[in-house]
Structure 1
Amino acid sequence: MAASHKGAISFGLVHIPIALYTATQDNDIHFNQLCKEDLSRVRYKKTCAGCGKEITNKDIVKGFEYDKDKYVIVTDDDFEKIKTEKDRSIQILHFTDLSSIRPIYYDKTYHAVPETGGDKAFELLRQAMKQENKIAVAKTVMGQKETLLAVIPTDDGILIETLFYADEIKELPKEYSHPAVSEAELAMAKTLINSMNQEFQPELYKDEYQERLKALIEQKIAGKEIVSAKQEEQGNVIDLMEALKASIEQAGSNKPKRGGRSKKVKGAS
């Protein structure tokens, strides 16, 4: 796997050469767009608005429109010339608690892997942050953008999370009324939450819809009739307390008996 970014984690006078590798992948089924008449592939061509000719990526340059139809061209060399040494490194700004960063700020995850000569300093940083229960807030330039980062130690490595800036976060589109809840309702809701509490085990979850989609495609290829999925009946919630009580009873009946194997959550393999 090719590295997405190379640089060094830098804090104080310590520099740790690392490479970043994407930590997630897209497993969704993707479809091609076809012409309805003859099922030919729909193609998208890049054409020049001036001469009308089709162009390829090698014919394209980056231009900033500073006035109507007036552009200044910026090349890859130009982008590199304005980068400082700090821009080329992952500069740790400070350390903080993981809980201090709201989930809405997280964007994309990378595995950080030490390059030759950086193993010991990398492991020292990982262990120190892990034992102090701290993460680092850092920044670097990736591509043509200065990116805010969270450096997060794990049991076996370090994750780098790209973060949104505050001005990139949208306001809540609509406020809700925050109606009052009674102590009895709150206690019942807490009981339900605790009755459904269990450790997060990511290997137990799977994308059930994608599996049904794969089955649909296989049935289509085999020329079989597509049968609609069985719909679960949803009861109308009339009384909140009654719904909570029924949910607690249902959660209790789903718990494994003592000495038995734990029941997997819905969607477990």
Structure 2
Amino acid sequence: MHTMWKGSISFGLVNIPIKLHAATEDKNVKFRSLHNECHTPIKYEKVCPTCEKEIGTKDIVKGYEVTKGKFVVVEEDELSGLKEAVEEKAVEIIDFIKLDEIDPIYFNRSYYMSPDGGNKAYGLLRKALTESEKVGLAKIMIRSKEQLAVIRVYQDTLLMETIHFPDEVRKAADVPNVPSEDNVTKKEIDTAIMLIDQLTTTFDPEKYKDEYRTKVLELIEAKRTGKDLVTVKEKEPAAQMTDLMAALQASIDRTKPKTKRPAKAKKPAAKTSAAGEKK
């Protein structure tokens, strides 16, 4: 399992070196965007619309938009300094609470925690959390973002779940068109509760499948086995001139400056004598 973060978690004077591993993975079917004409994967470039040219990573800086079209530029070394100051205290368990005190809307991502040495301390925290029926609340820095996190026991393994800060959760009161009163009859309520009771069961995650993803994969497999494949159209090689002299002459002709044809000189007008005769 890939290690995505390495550090330590501490509570009181107990320090536990740990590694983080993503506990979940995105199983979406990923498609590439192809050019319909030649089936070549589309290339997305970073282009400055003002300079009208492609730019590289070294030409990019971070900017925070304070008003429309006006930015504050923040350098990477400035952010690094702030990050180092926070990281020193980012992995300390600051509180212990009951898990059911946290509404599920706060939960974000889950990570397994494996001991990186210090197996005894790892086991101590696991046992203490299990018997106290509490979870630890900690702060941790992951991918340049400070996270609030819950540390709990899941199937005999310490699990860390990042949770949103309160200002990251939008207010339910801002949701439009929510009725303020339930205009339903008692009979309707009783019928709805009866239906809920009939459908109530024990949660078994294995019985639930992503049916759409399964059908998409079946479609892809059917096309693959049926040889319904497209191939990237290769670029045609530039025509090669086999005659060396012809190649040289073509190069000369292509680079030869175009010259204007000289204008024809006008003949001087014939002089006439006083008698009117041309000389």
TM-score, normalization by structure 2: 0.69
Q: 1:100 to 1:216 in 2, by over 3 A?
A: same
- Kept in 1, the 8 Å contact 2:61–2:73? The answer is no
- Cα-to-partner distance string for 1:215-250 (whole Å, 9 max, x where unaligned): 2223334278xxxxxxxxxxxxxxxxxxxxxxxxxx
Partner residue in 1 for 2:88: 85
Q: CA deviation at 1:123?
A: 1.6
Q: 1:144 to 1:198 in 2, by over 3 A?
A: same
Partner residue in 1 for 2:19: 19
- Aligned 1:78-227 pairs, distance under 5 A: 78-87=81-90, 90-117=91-118, 119-172=119-172, 173-174=175-176, 175-221=178-224, 222=226
Q: CA deviation at 1:27?
A: 1.6
Q: CA deviation at 1:154?
A: 2.0
Give the CA RMSD over aligned residues. Answer: 2.6
1:66 & 1:154 partners in 2: Cα distance? 42
Q: 1:182 to 1:70 in 2, by over 3 A?
A: closer
- Cα-to-partner distance string for 1:90-137 (whole Å, 9 max, x where unaligned): 2212111111111111111101111112x2222221222222221122
Report the residue type matching 2:208 in the other structure: Y
1:99 & 1:198 partners in 2: Cα distance? 20
2:134 & 2:16 partners in 1: Cα distance? 18
Q: CA deviation at 1:187?
A: 3.3
2:52 & 2:21 partners in 1: Cα distance? 41
Matched, 1:73 2:75: yes
Partner residue in 2 for 1:240: none
* Max Rg structure: 2
Report the residue type matching 1:102 in the other structure: D
1:62 & 1:79 partners in 2: Cα distance? 17
1:215 & 1:162 partners in 2: Cα distance? 35
Q: 1:65 to 1:211 in 2, by over 3 A?
A: closer
Greater shift in the superposed pair: 32-41 or 67-76:
67-76
Q: Flag structure 2 segments of 5+ consecutive residues without an equivalent.
A: 229-279
Q: Flag structure 1 segments of 5+ consecutive residues without an equivalent.
A: 225-269
- Cα-to-partner distance string for 1:185-229 (whole Å, 9 max, x where unaligned): 3333333222222221212221111111122223334278xxxxx
Counting aligned pairs with the same residue, the percent is 33
Partner residue in 1 for 2:241: none
Report the residue type matching 1:71 in the other structure: V
- Kept in 2, the 8 Å contact 1:61–1:73? The answer is no
- Kept in 2, the 8 Å contact 1:61–1:74? The answer is no
Q: 1:135 to 1:182 in 2, by over 3 A?
A: farther
2:145 & 2:95 partners in 1: Cα distance? 20
Tell me, what secondary structure is at the counterpart of 2:193? helix
- Kept in 2, the 8 Å contact 1:126–1:154? The answer is no
Q: CA deviation at 1:32?
A: 0.8
Q: 1:17 to 1:200 in 2, by over 3 A?
A: same
- Kept in 1, the 8 Å contact 2:18–2:116? The answer is yes
Q: 1:50 to 1:100 in 2, by over 3 A?
A: same
Q: CA deviation at 1:44?
A: 0.5
Q: CA deviation at 1:80?
A: 5.0
Q: 1:186 to 1:124 in 2, by over 3 A?
A: farther
Partner residue in 1 for 2:44: 44
